[in-house]
Amino acid sequence: MSTKPSANLPNTIRPMTAADLLPVVEIECVSSQSPWSLKQFELSLNDSLVLESDNKVVGFAVMSAVLDQAELHNIAIHPEHQGIGLGAVMLDYFLNNLPNEIKSVYLEVRLSNFRAIRLYQERGFVQVGERREYYKTELGREDALLMCRDMATETP
Ligand SMILES: CC(C)(COP(=O)(O)OP(=O)(O)OC[C@H]1O[C@@H](n2cnc3c(N)ncnc32)[C@H](O)[C@@H]1OP(=O)(O)O)[C@@H](O)C(=O)NCCC(=O)NCCS
């Protein structure tokens, strides 16, 4: 019997391990237009989290921190589990567990990725720049928005 995806199932967020690489690459391949390679995830293992729902890896986040700045490099939820709050759970976990010294968090997002942009805006990210023709698309290239969250500012 299959279980309907739900944000109310037991969700666990934990560091990514080598054993998670294959499911993570699978999620990346079905959710991203320009998927990261297995090697890229391997190199980021120490800076990555996975989200397990009902004991299955259904999402991940990759970040880094230098001095007082953090960057969210990649985040995805498997399409079968999107739209039920898990992306927000993952992002909130990342933001709530940053080292105290982190003052700002940066990320880049495709201009057309309304779902992700809305999620980031709801979490207090604002646009601070644009990168022209940053991402590949099937037809050419697409701009990226550079977004920042000031950790000293309360979210609405
Ligand atoms: C972006 C992503 C991580 C969001 O995860 P998710 O689990 O689908 O998002 P959630 O269900 O937690 O929803 C969080 C917010 O996203 C937005 N959102 C979710 N589904 C949406 C939809 N169908 N249409 C518009 N906005 C939507 C809403 O703002 C929502 O907040 P709300 O619940 O107050 O409406 C996920 O869609 C994904 O993996 N996308 C592919 C990879 C990607 O684009 N990553 C971001 C790279 S920068």
At residue 3 the predicted structure's pLDDT band, cuts being 50, 70 and 90, is very low
User: Which of helix, strand or coil describes residue 67?
Assistant: coil
Ligand 1 centroid, distance to 72 Cα (angstroms): 15
Residues 27 and 25: their CA atoms lie apart, in Å, by 5
Q: Which residues are catalytic?
A: 108, 120
At residue 124 the predicted structure's pLDDT band, cuts being 50, 70 and 90, is very high
Residues 107 and 18: their CA atoms lie apart, in Å, by 25
pLDDT single digits (tens) 7-34:
666 789 999 999 999 999 999 999 998 8
Q: pTM for the complete prediction?
A: 0.92
pLDDT single digits (tens) 81-117:
999 999 999 999 999 999 999 999 999 999 999 999 9
Top-level CATH class of 11-150?
Answer: alpha beta
User: Which of helix, strand or coil describes residue 148?
Assistant: strand
Ligand 1 centroid, distance to 84 Cα (angstroms): 8
Q: Can you give the pLDDT at residue 2?
A: 37
What residues contact 62, with CB distance under 8 A and at least 6 apart? 41, 44, 47, 48, 72, 73, 74, 75
Query: Which is more confident, 6 or 32?
Result: 32
Q: Name all residues whose Cβ lies below 6 A of ligand 1.
A: 31-32, 75-77, 82-88, 109, 113-116, 118-119, 122
Q: Atom 20 in ligand 1: which residue has the minimum CA distance?
A: 83
Ligand 1 centroid, distance to 114 Cα (angstroms): 8
Q: Are 102 and 63 in contact (CB under 8 A)?
A: no
Point out the ligand 1 atom lying closest to the alpha carbon of residue 121. Answer: 29
Which residue ranges make up each domain of the chain?
11-150
